């Protein structure tokens, strides 16, 4: 697919192609049980998003300042959609004292636990089975909430055929609507809500419509365009700060 073809692809087109890509990621014969990234070994369970097949995890770590040596910028973090736990664990290794990884996929919850134990940070990283904020303790608050979201639009009547699809697809952007509405109440005073999104793979105008419906302000604080080489030739990724109107 050429860059020109990619630019004219509609959300419906990309949705249909993503269904195939998600299935291929799980069933491919060379899918490993462990993988190496950032000079560390990681467990990878079936039905869990594999960071080795997509560049978004690497861009997320860059946006969060976790690719360079130094202390993590926040003392507590909630990662929504923790997957393998790579970001959670890396944040803990960089000095974050309390990390919660939440995921709707039970396989991802177990995967996060495995990698926290593998890297000796299971005293600081807690994995929670949760549909967004539903499984969290009501009293918890976080300095930063980060979500590398399932930004690929899907029709409202889409029915998930595997847990793995949750890493990619959001029917009617309902999960994004809930996240924008609920996230600010889970931060500490002065805390940040950060949404990782793709303007080329996701429906950015649709996201802004949801923000207007939920009375939330969106501010792009980082952006990066890269040669993707996986499911799109060139992709733009955004780090968006979500806030209540001042």
- In angstroms, the Cα distances linking 74 to 24, 59, 90, 182, 242 are 36, 18, 13, 20, 17
pLDDT the model gives residue 145: 98
Residues 155, 108 contacting (CB under 8 angstroms): no
| Look-up of token digits 């299935």 | 23
Give residue 3's pLDDT band: very low, low, confident or very high (50, 70, 90). Answer: very low
Measure the CA–CA gap between 15 and 12, rounded to whole angstroms: 5
Longest Cα–Cα distance of the chain, Å, equals: 51
Residue 112: name the closest of 205, 197, 211, 44 by CA. Answer: 44
Q: Compute the distance between CA of residue 30 and CA of residue 33 in angstroms, rounded to an integer.
A: 10
Q: How would you write 180-208 as a 3-class SS string?
A: HHHHHHHEEEEEEEEEEEECCCCCHHHHH
* CATH T-level topology, domain 3-27+42-243: Rossmann fold (3.40.50)
- pLDDT at 240 (0 to 100): 98
Task: Judge whether 196 and 148 are in contact, CB under 8 Å.
Answer: yes
Q: What are the angstrom distances between the C-alpha of 246 and each of 15, 215, 242, 243?
A: 35, 11, 12, 8
Q: Which residue, 198, 221, 186, 195, is CA-closest to 100?
A: 186
What digits encode the pLDDT tens for the residues 187-221? 999 999 999 999 999 999 999 999 999 999 999 99
pLDDT for the residue numbered 232: 74
- The CA distance from 224 to 212, in Å, is 25
- Beta-bridge partner residues of 193: 145, 242
pLDDT tens digit string along 111-156? 999 999 999 999 999 999 999 999 999 999 999 999 999 999 999 9
């Amino acid at each position: 697919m050429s860059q020109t073809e990619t630019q004219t692809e509609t959300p419906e087109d990309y949705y249909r192609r993503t269904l195939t890509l998600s299935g291929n990621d799980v069933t491919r014969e060379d899918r490993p049980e462990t993988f190496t990234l950032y000079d560390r070994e990681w467990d990878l369970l079936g039905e869990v998003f594999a960071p080795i097949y997509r560049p978004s995890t690497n861009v997320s770590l860059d946006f969060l300042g976790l690719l360079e040596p130094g202390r993590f910028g926040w003392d507590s973090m909630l990662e929504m959609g923790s997957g393998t736990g790579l970001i959670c664990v890396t944040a803990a290794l960089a000095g974050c004292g309390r990390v919660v990884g939440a995921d709707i996929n039970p396989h991802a919850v177990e995967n996060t636990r495995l990698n926290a134990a593998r890297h000796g940070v299971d005293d600081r990283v807690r994995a929670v089975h949760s549909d967004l904020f539903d499984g969290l303790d009501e009293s918890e608050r976080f300095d930063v909430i980060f979500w590398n979201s399932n930004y690929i639009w899907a029709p409202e009547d889409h029915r998930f055929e595997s847990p793995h699809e949750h890493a990619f697809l959001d029917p009617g952007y309902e999960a994004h609507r809930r996240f924008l509405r609920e996230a600010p109440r889970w931060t500490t005073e002065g805390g940040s809500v950060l949404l990782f999104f793709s303007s080329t793979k996701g429906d950015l105008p649709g996201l802004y419509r949801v923000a207007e419906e939920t009375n939330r302000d969106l501010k792009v604080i980082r952006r990066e365009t890269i040669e993707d080489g996986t499911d799109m030739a060139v992709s733009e990724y955004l780090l968006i700060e979500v806030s209540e109107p001042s």
